[in-house]
């Protein structure tokens, strides 16, 4: 069965369409109106091997907050739908990703309990025009709506661009492992019998 999902969300602040294919090759079609965010979502797709289409029209004349936060929500919803009952997946994934001086650790548990644990201090407040605090907003929405426990921790870093990019890439690599089918797992990977 194809592990693909498409989700649309319309509010007074954003119009978002997302499609994910968990068994893809990392092909992406990203257009959010926020250049740096497009770059991060492209990296997320490439390194997770999740095919990702994200088209957003947001109130970027206000700022980028609603666009980034709401995109996290919809990507999370699409991931949750594509995972279905989570039968046969590895469930857990982790990665440690360097990007020059930056080093970020990610750990993912597709537990059904969506929570973000964020320890990614970023000194500069902006990368170009992108507010660095929006990285937290994106992953908070994604973790909650995907039903994933997500830990993100900066081990080292100085450059805000490098730190954020290593964060997206480490999450992507952890996600890649967690959503993979495990041929040794029969049924739901939980002693409770449900996730």
Residues 87-143 have pLDDT tens digits of 999 999 999 999 999 999 999 999 999 999 999 999 889 999 999 999 999 999 999
Predicted confidence (pLDDT) per residue in 162-183, tens digit: 999 999 999 999 999 999 999 9
Domain range list for the chain: 4-179
CATH topology of domain 4-179: Ribosomal Protein S5; domain 2 (3.30.230)
- Sequence-distant (6+) residues with CB within 8 A of 183 are none
pTM over 0.85: yes
> What does DSSP say about strands 115-119 and 149-156: parallel, antiparallel, or unpaired?
parallel
Q: How confident is the model at residue 194 (pLDDT cuts 50, 70, 90)?
A: confident
Helices (H) and strands (E) in the chain, counts: 4, 10
């Amino acid at each position: 069965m194809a592990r693909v999902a498409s989700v649309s969300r319309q509010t007074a602040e954003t119009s978002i369409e997302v499609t994910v294919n968990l068994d893809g090759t990392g092909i992406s079609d990203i257009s959010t109106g926020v250049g740096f965010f497009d770059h991060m979502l492209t990296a997320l797709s490439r390194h997770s091997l999740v095919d990702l289409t994200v088209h957003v029209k947001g109130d970027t004349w206000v700022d980028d907050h609603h666009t980034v936060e709401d995109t996290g929500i919809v990507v999370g919803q699409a991931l949750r739908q594509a995972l279905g009952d989570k039968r046969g997946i590895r469930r857990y994934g982790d990665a440690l990703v360097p990007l020059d001086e930056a080093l970020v650790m990610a750990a993912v548990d597709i537990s059904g309990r969506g929570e973000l644990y964020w320890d990614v201090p970023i000194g500069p407040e902006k990368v170009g025009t992108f507010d660095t605090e929006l990285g937290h907003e994106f992953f908070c929405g994604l973790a909650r709506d995907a039903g994933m426990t997500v830990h993100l921790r900066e081990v080292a870093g100085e450059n805000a661009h490098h730190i954020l990019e290593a964060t997206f890439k480490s999450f992507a690599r952890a996600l890649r492992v967690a959503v993979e089918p495990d041929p040794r797992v029969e049924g739901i990977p939980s002693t409770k019998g449900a996730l």
